[in-house]
Structure 1
């Protein structure tokens, strides 16, 4: 996200302003990504519906973000090291998830028009990708973070002198009580 700070003045340098990824509100966000469960479900639903276009564009990874004035979709294709970005203006009074849906609907309709015109899907894909702007940036910026846990025992289990097998014992409560009493 640091590569977009100069483009979008609404993203602060310190990164402390949190917005709901679905509706864009900043109220009562604290350390959450979404303001409510409904917002999260609506965004997930819209993302799941529109995976067909991303598959047609041979997308390996994709990410989207928004400001008050623009919504952007960055994609990385299979076998490519070039990031492509689709940037669309936001509609006044609309939620980011609605603008995202509108943007992908426009791209999807353009893809289908090109398929009908040429009868070739790969040409339609090239046509849509030609509308994207190549951007300078790290390829890892669109890859999802992979959380890895070490294969060693947790420190609390070490302090309590518990073994991994103890966690699957039918007498787990009794074993934990005894460990705390030691």
Structure 2
């Protein structure tokens, strides 16, 4: 970890960051990037890139600017690297030499590919609101005895939400609906498989698009 712990941003901040990331995938295409990841702390923004089938990672780190959101800091970094690429392209008339000039600005980490290429994660295809209502995390839904876990969670929450114990009727009805929804799902549980990280953005050249950080607490394969 560089500097302080990784930070997260609001929905609006995340949407703006997604737009800026997707608008600048041309840089990754020019570098022949197979995978990439992006995250930020209070001090730096970090773009890690895997070229082709290499095992090494090229890590670009730029300092954060006071008053700027992560999307703007990323844009400044990507634009700077893009200008470097085009300057080298005009000077050498070779794309691979231009890419080499950009990669020379990165910190090269040997055998770091696994930190940029995520494992497949298994996400229960249930509504987040129902999980929140019963205070159940998605990780617990990847284990055995689904019905038992759901029932225990309901009993625990019912003791807090029931009108006889100081709760309100509408809150208890919402809890009951969430409980029934999860029990129905547990009869024939379904899952969604996808790649991604819980704490950083992920780029896959096959899609030429970024995937936002996945919700925490998902089983990894």
Q: For the superposition of Structure 1 and Structure 2, which TM-score range results when normalised by the shorter chain?
A: 0.5 to 0.7
* SS of equivalent to 1:124: helix
Structure 1 stretches of 4+ moved >3 Å: 154-160
Aligned to 2:59: 85
Distance 1:139 1:19 in 2: 24
CA drift at 1:135: 2.4
| Aligned pairs for 1:70-109 within 5 A | 70-109=44-83
CA drift at 1:39: 2.3
| Aligned pairs for 1:1-182 within 5 A | 4=1, 7-8=2-3, 10-11=4-5, 19-20=8-9, 35-36=10-11, 38-135=12-109, 138-148=112-122
Answer 1 or 2: which has greater strand percent.
2
* SS of equivalent to 1:123: helix
Answer 1 or 2: which has greater helix percent.
2
CA drift at 1:136: 5.2
Check 1:18–1:68 CA distance in 2 against 1; reply closer, same or farther (3 A cut): closer
Distance 1:99 1:109 in 2: 16
| TM-score, length basis structure 1 | 0.64
Number of residue-to-residue matches in the alignment: 133
Unaligned segments of structure 1, at least 5 residues? 12-16, 21-34, 165-182
Higher RCO (Cα < 8 Å, 6 or more apart): 2
Q: CA RMSD in A?
A: 2.7
